[in-house]
Chains A and B, each alone.
Chain A
Amino acid sequence: MRRFLAVLWANVRLDTKTAWRNGFFAITIALVAAYAAAVNWLIPPSFEAERPTIGFVDQTEDQRWKSFLEPQEHEFQFFSDRSLLEQEAQDHGIIGVVACEEEIILIIQGYEQPKTITAIEEFLQLSDQMIQRVILPPMISTVNLHPHAVSLPMNLRFIPVLLATDVMLIAFFLISAMLFNEKKERSLFAYRVSPGGTFAYLLSKVLVNVGNCLLFSLLFLIATDQWRIHLWPFILMVVLSSGLMSFLGLLLAQFYDSLMDFLYIILGVTLIALLPAIPYFNPSIAAPVFEWIPSYPVFFGVHRLLEGASDVPWQMFAPALVLLGIMIPLTGWSFGKTTMKRSGL
């Protein structure tokens, strides 16, 4: 074991030195600067579109609609006359409602989302029933399970996305670049006739890449002023995801001769790794299959921590742990059989 650790340490020093001299850490710092600039200045805190203004004309004798809706005055624009409302709808594209004694007329532009129209219709029906005392206004109270949780502004919601992208970029792309570099200069072929061993070789590269990912992630948190989150679960997530992607990068890259040949695989894997962005931004599309993608814990775990949670459920890590348990021996075995033996002879 002592021998293995000594060889591993020699490899880690070598890989760190070559990564530094190849500019990998400079790329990391540049990415931190670019991503932090995006979060701090480019992405707005809110993307929410303005709610559609509804113009209202109450033609009932007792002006019951007006008195019912007055408490929500800021959401409605009242007109004294239907022609004025129609003119405003023509000029500014608003939705109009004309409440008569027997009916309610909805004036629309034609391009609204059907669900917007349905929501307005349901609101009007419910309001009509309440006005006519058919039903009483419901008593609504709120129980907050996470009273200290903060709703993330949109720019901060992008932090997990950018972190996941970077874990992909550094862990998968840079580790394959390291391997292709050693294939090109043929130093790999010299290493394999030394007693260094395959696993120390692989583990060293993964450790250097995981270290680089951690460096990025922590600097990114500092640069976006989010460093007060609970760090241990955060570090665990980054280590797990980047470790998994690094092993995957080595496993696949060994079968290719150059970065150019490998580009399609990088693009494919990047796309897959970004798939958790779909349930992240649109939770109604969540499916269990997304949880098996290595970047999943970064998306959802980091989001949770940014909202103020002190931990991340272990179930979130489970798929990544299972995959890592498969990937480590598979990469070691495959590398020992091919790259460390016959390839390149």
Chain B
Amino acid sequence: MIQVRDLVHRYPRASVNAVNEISFSISKGEIFGFLGPNGAGKSTVQNILSRLLPIQSGDVMIDGVPLRAVKQSYYEEIGVSFELPNLYEKLTGYENLAFFGKLFRKKTIDPDSLLRMVGLENARNKKAKDYSKGMKHRLVFARSLINRPKILFLDEPTSGLDPSTAQEIKNIIRDQRDQGTTIFLTTHNMFTAEELCDQVAFLYEGAIVAMDTPKNLKLQYGTQSVQIEYREEDQTQRAIFFMDRPEEKQRLAELVAQYPVITLHSQEATLEQIFIKLTGKELKA
């Protein structure tokens, strides 16, 4: 569905590329997760794919058609959900959805059923400015579905949501995938990525450092790790050590000998730990 080859992007007056020769492909009906810390280039790639930024170098094909050649009608087939709320604040939730519904040539989903889907039916006639942050986020997400998009771009789709609402949103995303929608998801939340994505790519300083299914990444990079909590100068300290690295094994042995140990757990590596292992940086950085 989406093929990206050797994509490069540099912002005006920047000294380094924001996106540096990245390539990936996403099949129809797949959830593809872009994981990386802020500034890694996730949004730049999403903005190129949603045609807000031009392709400077490289190629992007959408369903066999070069992205450079697609027209305004491209927006008939995509849905974009942003991390930050961007609603008409003086309009009600219903009016926000109804307005966007009228911009499409194709038949769109009834705003009321979308509001029900994201649990906002009781806030139908409330102005968006009076919505909480989580409600705004849900409305933006609902808006991205109004045209039954073939490709859905989701930027931090569960950010700011309580666990139960986040779970509902994840279920809707899975439903969309099951209906054949291709989903491009950018996040720095490893749990969301691990739970939802069929394939993930770790993006760091504009380049993809690893890309595969979450399971394969764990098999390939995820060695057993040990998490230790210990007391040092009346403070509880916490550390993670990868057992495939001799120097970390040595350091763990030193800690156990030197300080009183509170807890000691062996664990399977998470996507975040793999990211840290590959880049030396945390995802939330």
Task: Mark A residues whose CB is within 8 Å of B.
Answer: 3, 6-7, 10, 13-14, 17-18, 21-22, 182, 185-197, 341-342, 345
A191: chain B residues within 8 A (beta carbon): 103
A189: chain B residues within 8 A (beta carbon): 82, 86
Q: Kindly state the separation between the CA atoms of A123 and B104 in the bound complex, as whole angstroms.
A: 79
Choice from A10, A18, A187, A345 contacting B103 with Cβ under 8 Å: A10
Contact of A195 with B105 in the complex, beta carbons under 8 Å: yes
> Dominant SS at the B interface?
loop
Q: Kindly state the separation between the CA atoms of A249 and B72 in the bound complex, as whole angstroms.
A: 25
Known: A193-B75, A345-B52. A187 touches B105 (CB 8 A): no
Most buried by B among A17, A22, A187: A187
Quick check: is B73 within 8 A (CB to CB) of the other chain? yes
Quick check: is B85 within 8 A (CB to CB) of the other chain? yes
Q: Which residue of chain B has its CB nearest to the CB of A187?
A: B88
Quick check: is B138 within 8 A (CB to CB) of the other chain? no
Contact of B105 with A190 in the complex, beta carbons under 8 Å: no
A193: chain B residues within 8 A (beta carbon): 50, 52, 75, 78, 80
Q: Kindly state the separation between the CA atoms of A228 and B256 in the bound complex, as whole angstroms.
A: 97
Contact of A345 with B88 in the complex, beta carbons under 8 Å: no
Contact with A along B170-193 (1 / 0, CB 8 A): 000000000000000000000000
Most buried by A among B90, B100, B105, B140: B90
Q: How far is the CB of B160 from chain A (nearest CB, A)?
A: 15
Contact of A190 with B103 in the complex, beta carbons under 8 Å: no
Q: Which residue of chain B has its CB nearest to the CB of A184?
A: B89
A22: chain B residues within 8 A (beta carbon): 90
Q: Which residue of chain A has its CB nearest to the CB of B50?
A: A193
Q: Kindly state the separation between the CA atoms of A166 and B72 in the bound complex, as whole angstroms.
A: 37
Number of interface residues of B (CB under 8 A): 30
Q: How far is the CB of B185 from chain A (nearest CB, A)?
A: 16
Q: Which residue of chain A has its CB nearest to the CB of B44?
A: A345
Choice from B88, B90, B95, B104 contacting A195 with Cβ under 8 Å: B104
Quick check: is B110 within 8 A (CB to CB) of the other chain? no
Q: How far is the CB of A296 from chain B (nearest CB, A)?
A: 36
> Dominant SS at the A interface?
helix
B99: chain A residues within 8 A (beta carbon): 10, 13-14
Q: Kindly state the separation between the CA atoms of A284 and B171 in the bound complex, as whole angstroms.
A: 76
Q: Give 20 new A-B contacts, CB below 8 A, not counting A17-B95, A190-B143, A193-B50.
A: A3-B105, A6-B102, A7-B102, A7-B103, A17-B91, A18-B88, A22-B90, A182-B88, A186-B82, A186-B86, A187-B89, A189-B82, A190-B86, A191-B103, A193-B78, A193-B80, A195-B75, A195-B104, A196-B103, A197-B72
Q: Kindly state the separation between the CA atoms of A21 and B91 in the bound complex, as whole angstroms.
A: 9
Q: Which of B100-119 contact A (CB under 8 A)?
A: 100, 102-105
Contact of B80 with A185 in the complex, beta carbons under 8 Å: no
Contact with A along B50-70 (1 / 0, CB 8 A): 101110000000000000000
Contact of A192 with B52 in the complex, beta carbons under 8 Å: yes
Q: Kindly state the separation between the CA atoms of A20 and B192 in the bound complex, as whole angstroms.
A: 41
Q: How far is the CB of B183 from chain A (nearest CB, A)?
A: 15
Q: Which residue of chain B has its CB nearest to the CB of A18?
A: B90
Contact of B82 with A190 in the complex, beta carbons under 8 Å: yes
